[in-house]
Amino acid sequence: MTQVEAPAWTPMSAQEREAFERDGYIVVPSVLSESEIAAGRAAILGYYDRVKAEGGALHQLSPVAHVPELAFLLDHPKAFKYIWSLLGWNVHVYHSHIDVHPQLHEKQKEWWHWHQDGGRQNREIETDPRPMMSVKLAYWFSDVSETGRGNFTVLPGSHKTNWLPGPPSRGVSWPQPEGAVQITANAGDLVVFDRRIWHARSDNYSDITRVGAFFGYTPRWIAIRDEVADLPAQPAWNGFSEVQKQLLGGFGAGDGDHQWGHYPETTPLYGALKERGLLDSSIPALIP
């Protein structure tokens, strides 16, 4: 498994929380070390080469099930702090993917790819705005420091907006929404975003292959979309930490009460935060 440089656990800052709540996302520079960038990139591109993605692009769900070397990203201390600071200790990864997008050589039509994460949460929850429910971490393993490189594209502040005017149906060419921003970042940088923010991927016309890994976290009382049920039977499982096992759905054995958070003392992330004195009572999700 990839060895992670282990800084002390610290919560997100008040300034970061303010920016996140205002804009729906933050960009955190230099989260991964050079060795972590190299290891993650090699693991993703190695898998990409093995599966020979049709059409040149890869969008692989449940990446840890396919590339267990990426498990270090689940709870990387410099990134994971934003998850437990915002969502608390009773969380797991419900949706994750790795993406590889080589250069496009022909100009693409302006298809409408704008969406919020959460699937039917966006149809069945009636409040306006809808609740956050989940937060996603986007790790970059390629240089997207300039636009036009398949950049993650957002509409800042749109996480409080339930509906975005778009085309009458899919398959209709449609311009980008006004105010859209292509986020620029270096390899090793992190984007933390509210699942409600309206976002899309821009096309990559550069000669730099876009490589990224995305992990979405949510309370354990929301079902996991990823296909990880067989992971405990895999050889890699014994090499995962207890917190990583929790994040991959490995605690509670299907016990609804455990997933609802009724047993904090046997929930690994709760224990890790308690040991470090990080159960801040001013944050409701951190209260046992």
| Alpha carbon distance 43, 34 (integer Å) | 14
Backbone φ/ψ region at 270: left (φ over 0), alpha (ψ -120 to 50), beta: alpha
DSSP symbol at 236: G
C-beta atoms surrounding 191 within 10 Å? 22
The C-alpha atoms of residue 50 and residue 101 are separated, in whole angstroms, by 15
Q: Answer yes or no: are the C-beta atoms of 97 and 65 closer than 8 Å.
A: no
* Cα 77 from Cα 92, distance rounded (Å): 16
| 157 vs 264: CA distance, rounded Å | 34
Residues 6+ apart with CB under 8 A from 51: 58, 60
Tokens (6 digits) for 171:
């398959």
Distance CA 44, CA 69 (A): 9
pTM of the model: 0.95
Order of all β-strands in the sheet with 181-182: 181-182, 152-154, 199-201
Q: How far apart are the C-alpha atoms of 139 and 40, rounded to whole Å?
A: 10
Q: Which of 255, 281, 258 is nearest to 90 (CA)?
A: 258
Q: In 3D, which of 46, 87, 63 has the Cα closest to residue 248?
A: 63
d(CA 281, CA 288): 9
As beta bridge partners, residue 151 has none
pLDDT at residue 53, rounded to an integer: 66
Is the domain spanning 20-279 CATH 2.60.120.620? The answer is yes
Residue 1 has a pLDDT of 62
Q: What ranges do the domains of the chain cover?
A: 20-279
Q: Does the N-terminal peptide bond of residue 219 adopt cis geometry, omega within 30 degrees of 0?
A: no
One digit per residue, pLDDT tens: the chain, 288 residues? Answer: 666 666 789 999 999 999 999 999 999 999 999 999 999 999 999 999 999 766 689 999 999 999 999 999 999 999 999 999 999 999 999 999 999 999 998 888 777 889 999 999 999 999 999 999 999 999 999 999 999 999 999 999 999 999 999 888 877 888 889 999 999 999 999 999 999 999 999 999 999 999 999 999 999 999 999 999 999 999 999 999 999 999 999 887 667 899 999 999 999 999 999 999 999 998 889 988
Q: What is the pLDDT of residue 222?
A: 96
Amino acid at 171: G
Q: Are 186 and 143 in contact (CB under 8 A)?
A: yes
